């Protein structure tokens, strides 16, 4: 959410930013919110004046009564009553206008970074860099669920009976591999100086409103019936929420945290064949990273977070590439975003396995996360990135480490988490 003062003083910049995001339907909101804000401030000013005069008039009534000037005192009392009625009107107007201003400000997109390429949608995202050589083996690579089934590692039929589509049972060494990847990612981030955290897996609506847009919430979040609680769709929401309505001392920044959590998503809409199996599901587990920092440090941390994910995948010999999200593909709260995509030997293309985002002070402004610095208080910057999110990540892992006989190689970095195993064999 932008600062209303910035919108007042820079309406053309805000409008140009909306155009870059191809959301021209929101252009009238800029003038509307400026006018509403003007009315709100005028109402507040008049109300403040009336409150100030109320004290003076009250003293005047007392003086007049003391002098025996009852008629004059009664006239002043009428003025006080009229002022009280007007004050009630103004307070109502101020409250209504302020609420309308907040509602509109929640829908006006954040100012994107100048480096973000302009484009309408994800088809115009830009490839930045590749890491590792994409490899296609001489043998046919089966669909990922077929690889898992051959290793007795997945049961989708039973999960469908128990919970419906979009759920799974992972079994045996595949389940162990899933946990190994999460544990390795946890230790990988701890070694890079991040503090490990297991957050709440449900959050209140105040946190939901602070970390995401209304459209994202409706498409993603599961609401707990009868409770002011939502199941988290990703742990950065709970992790950023940890700082709601707090003042952080500047000399303690940055705060770098890595978190484990299950995640729950509606995943609305139809998906293609490559998104069946365990690619798009309602329940998965994830290792996440977030940073709370000073504004001048946020771009440095953006690149550090992105590099962590690339380095993790490369340590497991999985080729990846980095895609920069264009203006039209950026969520409204984001200043800048990279997607990390892993190579799929079966599809002979890359697919998304992580997303790194700089949200500027948008979340901090909504959640009132402030920093106490040498020159006063200001809003922090927040960033997040996926470390790893199996089982989607397992698709890339299995395809890139598959042997012709159906067995799967275990990279050296994961062997300590797999009891020393070097391979998952078909006969297991």
Q: Could you read off the pLDDT of 91-102 as tens digits, one per residue? A: 888 888 888 999
Q: What token pair was written down for 2?
A: 């932008």
Q: What token pair was written down for 210?
A: 């602070």
Per-residue DSSP letter, 413:
G
pLDDT-wise least confident of 56-60, 176-180, 187-191, 373-377: 56-60
Tell me whether residue 164 is exposed, middle or buried, using C-beta atoms within 10 angstroms of its C-beta: 0 to 12, 13 to 18, 19 or more: exposed
pLDDT, residue 181, reads: 97
| pLDDT higher than 70, residue 273 | no
Split at pLDDT 50, 70, 90, the class of 272 is very low
pLDDT, residue 54, reads: 73
Q: Are 132 and 314 in contact (CB under 8 A)?
A: yes
How many whole angstroms separate alpha carbon 318 and alpha carbon 409? 12
Whether the bond between 274 and the residue before it is cis, its omega within 30 degrees of 0, is no
Look at residues 50, 21, 254, 220 and name the one whose alpha carbon lies nearest to residue 117.
21
pLDDT, residue 188, reads: 98
In this structure, the number of other CB atoms found within 10 A of the CB of residue 218 comes to 12
Per-residue DSSP letter, 328:
G
More confident residue, 43 or 401: 401
pLDDT in tens, 341-389: 999 999 999 999 999 999 999 999 999 999 999 999 999 999 999 999 9
pLDDT cut 90: percent of the chain above it: 75
pLDDT, residue 268, reads: 62
Q: What token pair was written down for 37?
A: 């804000």
CA–CA–CA angle 176, 182, 185 (5° rounding): 135
Q: What is the mean pLDDT of residues 313-321?
A: 96
Q: What token pair was written down for 309?
A: 């994910």
pTM: 0.88
More confident residue, 157 or 273: 157
In 114-252, where do the E strands start and end?
A: 126-131, 154-155, 169-170, 195-197, 202-203, 222-223, 230-231, 246-249
- Determine phi and psi for 183, rounding to 5 degrees: -65, -40
Q: Are 278 and 145 in contact (CB under 8 A)?
A: yes
Look at residues 281, 293, 230, 221 and name the one whose alpha carbon lies nearest to residue 256.
293
Residues 6+ apart with CB under 8 A from 13: 111
Split at pLDDT 50, 70, 90, the class of 330 is very high
* Average predicted confidence (pLDDT) for the chain: 91
pLDDT, residue 270, reads: 42
CA–CA–CA angle 166, 206, 263 (5° rounding): 20
Split at pLDDT 50, 70, 90, the class of 75 is confident
Instruction: Tell me the H-state helices in 67-171.
Output: 70-105, 144-150, 156-162
| pLDDT higher than 50, residue 185 | yes
| 248 CB-side CA count, 13 A | 25
Query: What is the residue-wise DSSP string for 238-278?
Result: HHHHTTTTEEEEGGGPPEEEEEEEEEE----S---GGGTTT
More confident residue, 158 or 278: 158
Q: What token pair was written down for 302?
A: 């953006």
Look at residues 384, 290, 278, 271 and name the one whose alpha carbon lies nearest to residue 338.
384
State how beta strands 222-223 and 336-344 pair. unpaired
- Domains in the chain with CATH codes: 4-105 (1.10.287.40), 122-424 (3.30.930.10)
| pLDDT higher than 90, residue 178 | yes
Q: Which residues are registered as beta bridge partners of 255?
A: 292
């Amino acid at each position: 959410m932008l600062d209303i003062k910035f919108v007042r003083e820079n309406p053309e910049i805000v409008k140009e930013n909306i155009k870059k995001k191809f959301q021209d339907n929101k252009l009238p909101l800029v003038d509307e919110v400026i006018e509403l804000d003007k009315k709100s401030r005028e109402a507040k000013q008049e109300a403040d004046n009336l409150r100030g005069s109320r004290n003076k008039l009250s003293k005047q009534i007392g003086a007049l009564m003391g002098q025996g000037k009852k008629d004059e005192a009664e006239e002043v009392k009428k003025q006080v009553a009229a002022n009280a009625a007007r004050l009630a009107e103004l307070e109502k107007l101020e409250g209504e206008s302020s609420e309308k201003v907040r509602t509109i400000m929640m829908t006006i997109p954040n100012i994107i970074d100048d480096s973000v390429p302009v484009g309408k949608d994800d088809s115009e995202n830009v490839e930045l860099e590749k890491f590792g050589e994409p490899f296609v083996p001489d043998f046919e690579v089966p669909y990922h669920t077929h690889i898992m089934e051959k290793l007795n590692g997945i049961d989708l039929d039973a999960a469908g009976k128990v919970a419906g589509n979009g759920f799974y049972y992972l079994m045996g060494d595949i389940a162990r591999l899933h946990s190994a990847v999460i544990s390795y990612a946890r230790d990988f981030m701890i070694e890079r100086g991040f503090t490990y955290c297991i957050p709440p897996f449900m959050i209140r609506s105040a946190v939901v409103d602070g970390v995401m847009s209304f459209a994202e919430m409706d498409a993603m979040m599961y609401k707990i019936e009868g409770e002011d609680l939502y199941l988290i769709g990703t742990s950065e929401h709970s992790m950023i929420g940890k700082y709601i309505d707090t003042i952080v001392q500047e000399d303690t920044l940055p705060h770098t945290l890595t978190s484990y959590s299950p995640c729950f998503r509606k995943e609305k809409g139809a998906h293609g064949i490559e998104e069946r199996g365990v690619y798009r599901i309602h329940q998965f587990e994830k290792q996440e990273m977030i940073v709370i920092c000073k504004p001048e440090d946020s771009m440095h941390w953006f690149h550090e977070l992105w590099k962590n994910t690339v380095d993790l995948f490369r340590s497991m010999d999985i080729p990846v590439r980095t895609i920069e999200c264009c203006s039209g593909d950026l969520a409204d709260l984001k200043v800048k975003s990279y997607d990390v995509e892993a190579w799929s030997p079966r599809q002979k293309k890359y697919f998304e396995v992580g997303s790194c985002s700089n949200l500027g002070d948008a979340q901090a402004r909504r959640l009132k996360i402030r920093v106490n610095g040498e020159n006063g208080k200001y809003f922090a910057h927040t960033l997040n990135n996926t470390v790893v999110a199996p089982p989607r990540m397992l698709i890339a892992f299995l395809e890139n480490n598959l042997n012709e006989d159906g067995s799967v190689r275990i990279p050296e970095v994961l062997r300590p988490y797999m009891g020393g195993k070097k391979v998952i064999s078909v006969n297991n």
